[in-house]
Amino acid sequence: MLDPRDLHRQPDHRIFAGLDIGTSKIGVVIGQLSEDDKLCILGVGMSPSKGLRQGVVINLDQAVQSIDRAVQEAQLTAGVKVQDFVVGIAGDHIRSINSRGVVAVAGKDKEIDQSDVDRVLEAARAINLPPDRELLHVLPQEFIVDNQGGIKNPIGISGVRLEAEVHIVTGAVTSANNILRSVSKAGYHVSQLVLEPIASHYAVLDENEKELGVALIDLGGGTTDIALFHEGVIRNTAVIGLGSQNVTNDIALGLRTPIEQAEMIKCRYGSCLAPESRDDDTFMVPGIGGREPREVSRTLLTSIIQPRMEEIFSLAAKEIKRSEYGEKLGAGIVLTGGGALLKNAAELAEEIFGVPVKVGAPHVLQGLIESASSPVFSTGVGLVLYGIEHENDEQLRVAGRKGGFLKTFFNSLRSVAEDFFQG
Ligand SMILES: Nc1ncnc2c1ncn2[C@@H]1O[C@H](COP(=O)(O)OP(=O)(O)OP(=O)(O)O)[C@@H](O)[C@H]1O
Ligand SMILES: [Mg+2]
């Protein structure tokens, strides 16, 4: 096995870093690609997420400090300094739609070439965006040549009419700006801004699942992010503004105990399903403001947790059903994010979704395997993998800031399309 300490001493090191600005924690993952293109996790860092609410920056100074703390910790474990980060974005300001573009084939002898593909992708992303929203991703799904659908790579095919179906993700300009500003104020650079569930899927899903049809549900602290895949490509994304912190708040209110205690009780005794009678023991709950501690049964705790988890899963089920691909989940549902660690989360989800559900964590094979293999780090590891896959992309949002938007936009589309064709 590779030893991370040897790896980064190699002269031609290729370091990639992901910065997951979550609502509960800021997670940083630093990885390195070996000569045979294997990812080794060199460092991870985590700090409580201060100054953010539901993925949106509400206090810049606190957000900057939290980011810096997590980055410092990851750099210390990795023994390398990192400047550029692939950064995740989520929050209920995220919207996504599927769009379609159509062009006449202009290539020689009506043979489709790269410029036809560029034009049709440009036509597909030409949606009316209000000034307060901006494009984050334009992801090709399939091409249609003279009504023949399901084509992944149309280049070289002859036809008159070329259509493209794409999945478009947009975000609020102010939210994206605040994330860029926080990272930059902490002294780092954002190389790409990536929708979190798009990043997470790189760490958690395998090709077979994506081909058969799968919904990835990232149950975080403040948001629940959904990404739907079918026939190997992303079909839909959605963000719900509820997460596992809502469960903690319910426990704090229901048991009249401070948030920190409620969080501990959730992780230690919490479950989404009523305990078997033999497990129905009790635990002590400290009171607020000098009140006496009380004895509480697990059954009572479950009666607080279960309705909130049911609500979150039901909202996710509604989002999934809205998509035509909701009926095509051959590989079921993969739950990830810290909220997926709650006992019996997959079992309750199975009852609500009516399809097989499993908890997914990053497939980390080398380096800090134990630290990075938790569902809490799915987005962080996914951001590193996204950075590797899209190393040469100038992502839309960041490219736009540097000027030369249109040129880089086309480069970006082309590179996304090339990626898609290879997949
Ligand atoms: N062992 C555990 N059991 C139950 N819940 C857990 C456990 N570990 C973490 N959690 C919960 O997971 C949540 C944090 O998950 P995660 O780190 O994925 O969120 P985040 O990425 O910060 O948030 P978001 O994705 O919403 O921005 C917290 O609410 C925490 O209570
Ligand atoms: Mg998260």
Model confidence pLDDT, tens digit, residues 185-212: 999 999 999 999 999 999 999 999 999 9
What does the pLDDT average to over 118-141?
92
Domains of the chain: 207-360 (3.30.420.40)
Nearest C-alpha to atom 10 of ligand 1 is from which residue? Answer: 338
**What ranges in 195-254 are assigned the alpha helix state H?**
196-204, 207-212, 244-254
Nearest C-alpha to atom 19 of ligand 1 is from which residue? Answer: 220
Task: Return the sign of the alpha-carbon dihedral for residues 307, 312, 318, 321.
Answer: negative
Residue 294 scores a pLDDT above 70? yes
Residues in the chain, total = 423
Choosing from 244, 259, 379 the residue with most ligand 1 atoms within 8 A of its CB, the one to mutate for a pocket test is 244
| DSSP track, 273-325 | SPPPGGG--EEEEPPSTTPPPEEEEHHHHHHHHHHHHHHHHHHHHHHHHHSGG
Nearest C-alpha to atom 15 of ligand 1 is from which residue? Answer: 338
Quick check: 293 and 286 in contact, CB under 8 A? yes
Residue 141 scores a pLDDT above 50? yes
Residue 423 scores a pLDDT above 70? no
Is residue 260 within a helix (H) or strand (E), and if so which, with residue range?
helix 259-269
Nearest C-alpha to atom 21 of ligand 1 is from which residue? Answer: 22
Would you state the structure tokens that stand for residue 326, as one six-digit string? 């909701």
Distance CA 190, CA 22 (A): 16
Distance CA 5, CA 2 (A): 9
Ligand 2: distance of its center to the CA of 218 in Å?
7
The DSSP call for residue 276 is P
What type of residue is 382? G
Model confidence at 312, in pLDDT bands (50, 70, 90)?
Answer: very high
The chain-wide mean pLDDT, for the chain, equals 87
Q: Which residues line ligand 1 (CB under 6 A)?
A: 20, 22-25, 49, 55, 90, 220-223, 243-245, 248, 263, 266-267, 337-339, 341-342, 376
Would you state the structure tokens that stand for residue 43, as one six-digit string? 């460092």
What does the pLDDT average to over 208-237?
94
Q: What is the pLDDT of residue 396?
A: 47
What does the pLDDT average to over 232-247?
92
How do residues 371-402 score in pLDDT, each as one tens digit?
888 999 999 999 999 999 888 765 544 433 43
What does the pLDDT average to over 61-88?
95
Q: Which of 195, 97, 103 is nearest to 144 (CA)?
A: 103
Residues 6+ apart with CB under 8 A from 380: 18, 19, 20, 27, 28, 29, 44, 372
Ligand 1 atom nearest to 55, measured from its CA: 27
**What ranges in 153-243 are assigned the alpha helix state H?**
173-185, 196-204, 207-212
What does the pLDDT average to over 253-269?
94
Residue 415 scores a pLDDT above 60? no
How do residues 159-182 score in pLDDT, each as one tens digit?
999 999 999 999 999 888 989 999
Render the burial of 372-405: b for 16+ CB within 10 Å, e for the rest.
bbbbbbbbbbbbbbbbbebeebbbbbbbbeeeee
Q: What is the pLDDT of residue 54?
A: 66
Ligand 1 atom nearest to 21, measured from its CA: 27
What type of residue is 205? L
What type of residue is 315? L
% pLDDT > 70, the chain:
88
What does the pLDDT average to over 264-278?
88
Residue 254 scores a pLDDT above 70? yes
